[in-house]
Amino acid sequence: MLPGGALNLVELQEAARERLPAITYDYYASGAHDEHTLRENEAAWARVHLHYRVLVDVSARDLSTTVLGTRVSMPILVAPTAFHRLACPDGELATARAASRARTVMCLSSLSNTGVEDVCAVSGGPVWFQLYVYRDRAATEALVARAEAAGASALVLTVDAPLLGRRERDVRNRFHLPDGLRVENLTAAGHGDVALRSGESGLAAYFAEKLDPSLTWKDVAWLRSVTRVPLLVKGIVRPDDARRAIDHGASGVVVSNHGGRQLDGSPATAAVLAPIANAVQGRIEVLIDGGVRRGTDVLKALSLGARAVLIGRPILWGLAVAGEDGALAVLETLRHELDHAMALAGCARVSDATHDLVSSA
Ligand code: GLV
């Protein structure tokens, strides 16, 4: 089902690596500094064990659920990742079509190569909008209004990036966008270019100049006041921060360390999910990303307290190998693997993935 002869998402990454220019592959694949957290995100899922139930009727299985009140065909959503036109010519349009064919949510990055209006227009399904807060507050507020007007049904505020993590592969490659590609959503406001910089990552320089490192919880309340759609706070690894998100009006949190791309040495998301879900006590929804590569990882996440998982890099690998169909194949592979894992674990519905199903080594 996966393109490029791949049997699983790890093999798909290899097929994508063979096709992409090194500057793009490294940008997508890399983590901060020594990439400890990048590796830990994947490794930590393997340390969670599934205590399957036997002799349960699993002849009919239902993977559907809701996220923030929206029905989705499975608890697997598309995470916000930047610059999809580096992976394939249709970029975020291909991703949006794939997500809507899979009947799930696409979360569009602020840093997309396609404007939010165009993405919402081609998507037949729900689109959420990931937001970075710029020093230029007027541009940020205008972007929120544009996303809402285009039809984005939730805002996902990234809070783990006052500065960009130092990704040494990007420094070495002097990562920048090629001619013709821009941060499309911010072009009108004069923040569209991610240019070549000598001796550094052009994106790190872009963040340092343009993003607001003074952001605090007060700004979360501000953002709440300028939008009508639900707000998710993304980048949480601590129970007390999850509680603060509730206090500041969030409808949910995304347990995330930005795919190991920000603070190296931060914990794997799989390791902090249960305490966060426990602190939140069902008052808001808890989503998670980071290192999810198998349906069994999804089942583990649900059992540890997540409402749904978000998939980042594998979608990029799918786009790189086979465009829209490749991204769809990633989602369908995970759907198939989750369905299989649920059957073997004695779960007919996602609500059967309860905490007693898992233990951590
Ligand atoms: C952008 O958000 C990145 O992590 O590169």
- Ligand 1 atom index nearest CA of 80: 2
Phi, psi of 234 (to 5 degrees): -110, 130
Phi, psi of 130 (to 5 degrees): -85, 130
Pairing of strands 252-255, 231-236: parallel
Give me the pLDDT at residue 158, please: 98
Using a 6 Å cutoff on CB, does residue 111 contact ligand 1? Answer: yes
CA of 81 relative to ligand 1 center, distance in Å: 7
Give me the pLDDT at residue 1, please: 86
Closest protein CA for atom 5 of ligand 1: 82
Low-confidence spans in the chain with pLDDT less than 50: none
Segments in the chain forming alpha helices (H): 9-19, 22-29, 36-46, 91-101, 116-122, 137-150, 168-173, 202-210, 217-225, 239-247, 269-280, 295-303, 313-345
Q: Which tens digit of pLDDT belongs to each residue from 162-185?
A: 999 999 999 999 999 999 999 999
Using a 6 Å cutoff on CB, does residue 223 contact ligand 1? Answer: no
Task: Show Cβ contacts of residue 184 under 8 Å, excluding neighbours closer than 6 positions.
Answer: 112, 113, 114, 115, 192
Q: Which tens digit of pLDDT belongs to each residue from 235-277?
A: 999 999 999 999 999 999 999 999 999 999 999 999 999 999 9
Using a 6 Å cutoff on CB, does residue 82 contact ligand 1? Answer: yes
Render the burial of 333-351: b for 16+ CB within 10 Å, e for the rest.
Answer: bbbebbbebbeebbbeebe
Using a 6 Å cutoff on CB, does residue 258 contact ligand 1? Answer: yes
Closest protein CA for atom 2 of ligand 1: 82
- Pocket-testing residue among 210, 258, 266, ligand 1, by greatest number of atoms within 8 A of Cβ: 258
Separation between Cα atoms, residue 325 and residue 186, nearest integer Å: 28
Give me the pLDDT at residue 144, please: 98
Name the pTM for this structure: 0.98
The tokens for 258 are 């930005």
Using a 6 Å cutoff on CB, does residue 261 contact ligand 1? Answer: yes
Using a 6 Å cutoff on CB, does residue 234 contact ligand 1? Answer: no
The tokens for 248 are 């500041």
Within the chain, how many helices (H) and strands (E) appear? 13, 12
The tokens for 324 are 């829209």
- Ligand 1 atom index nearest CA of 132: 2
Give me the pLDDT at residue 139, please: 98
Cβ neighbours of 19 (radius 10 Å): 15
Closest protein CA for atom 4 of ligand 1: 261
88-94-99 Cα angle (round to 5) = 135
Pairing of strands 358-360, 48-50: antiparallel
Cβ neighbours of 43 (radius 10 Å): 13
State the catalytic residues: 258
Give me the pLDDT at residue 26, please: 98
Separation between Cα atoms, residue 59 and residue 218, nearest integer Å: 50
- Which residue is associated with the tokens 């999910």? 273
Look up residue 162 and give its amino acid. Answer: P
CA of 267 relative to ligand 1 center, distance in Å: 18
Domain at 9-360, CATH homologous superfamily: Aldolase class I (3.20.20.70)
